[in-house]
Amino acid sequence: MKPIKNLAIIAFVLMSMGSMAQNSKLRSFTPGAIWPDNKGVHINAHGGGLLEFDGAYYWYGEHKIEGKAGNRAMVGVHVYSSNDLYNWKDEGIALAVSENPESLIVKGCIIERPKVIYNAKTKKFVMWFHHELKGMGYSAAKTGLAVADSPTGPFEYIHSVNPNAVQWPLNFTAEQKQMSFPEELKSWSEEWLEAVADGLFIHRDFEKGQMARDMTLFVDEDGKAYHIHASEENLTLHISELNDEYTAFTDRYVAVMPAGHNEAPAIFKKDGKYYLIASGCTGWAPNAARSFVADQIFGPWTSLGNPCRGSEEQVETTFDSQSTYILENPENPGEFIFMADRWAPDNAIDGRYIWLPLEFEDDKPVINWNSEWTLK
Interacting residue ranges for ligand GAL, rule: CB under 6 A: 47, 112-113, 214, 263-264, 281, 283-284, 322
CB atoms within 10 A of CB 5: 9
- Name which of 216 and 322 has its Cβ closer to ligand GAL: 322
Cα of 134 vs its chain's centroid, Å: 20
**Residue closer to ligand GAL (CB basis): 181 or 284:** 284
Number of H helices, E strands in the chain: 5, 21
Least distance (Å) from ligand GAL to the CB of residue 281?
A: 6
Min. distance of Cβ 149 from ligand GAL in angstroms?
A: 28
CB of 50 to ligand GAL, least distance (A): 17
From the CB of 139, what's the least distance to ligand GAL, in Å? Answer: 13
The least CB distance from residue 345 to ligand GAL, in Å, is 7
The Cα 290–Cα 294 span in angstroms is 14
Residue whose CB is nearest to ligand GAL in the complex, by number: 283
**Least gap, CB of 225 to ligand GAL (angstroms):** 21
Instruction: Decide whether 47 or 307 has the Cβ nearer to ligand GAL.
Output: 47
Q: Which is nearer to ligand GAL, 81 or 257 (CB)?
A: 257
d(CA 50, CA 79): 10
- Report the amino acid identity of residue 87: N
CB of 308 to ligand GAL, least distance (A): 17
Query: Could you give the CA distance from residue 177 to residue 321 in angstroms, rounded to a whole number?
Result: 38
In DSSP terms, 227 is beta-bridged to 217, 240
Query: Which residue's CB is nearer to ligand GAL, number 232 or number 241?
Result: 232
Task: Give how far Cα 287 sits from Cα of 215, 261, 305, Å.
Answer: 18, 12, 13
* Residue placing its CB nearer to ligand GAL in the complex, 40 or 345: 345
Distance (Å, rounded) from C-alpha 58 to C-alpha 225? 18
Nearer to ligand GAL, 86 or 284 (CB): 284
Q: Which is nearer to ligand GAL, 132 or 241 (CB)?
A: 132
* 113/142 with CB nearer ligand GAL: 113
Q: How far apart are CA 23 and CA 297, in angstroms?
A: 43
Residue 78 near residue 127, CB atoms below 8 Å: no
Burial pattern 65-92, b for ≥16 Cβ within 10 A else e, equals beeeebbbbbbbbbbbbbeebbbbebbe
Instruction: Please identify, using beta-carbon distances, which residue of 258 and 265 lies nearer to ligand GAL.
Output: 265
Task: Please report how close the Cβ of residue 113 comes to ligand GAL at its closest, in angstroms.
Answer: 6
Name the minimum Å distance from CB 23 to ligand GAL. 35
C-alpha neighbours within 13 Å on the C-beta side of residue 161: 17
Element housing 343 (H / E): none
CB 136 to ligand GAL: min, Å: 14
d(CA 238, CA 299): 11
Backbone angles phi, psi at 196, to 5 degrees: -60, -45
Is omega for the bond preceding 163 within 30 degrees of 0, making it cis?
no
For residue 154, how many other CB atoms are within 10 A of its CB? Answer: 15
- Other beta carbons within 10 angstroms of residue 186's beta carbon come to 8
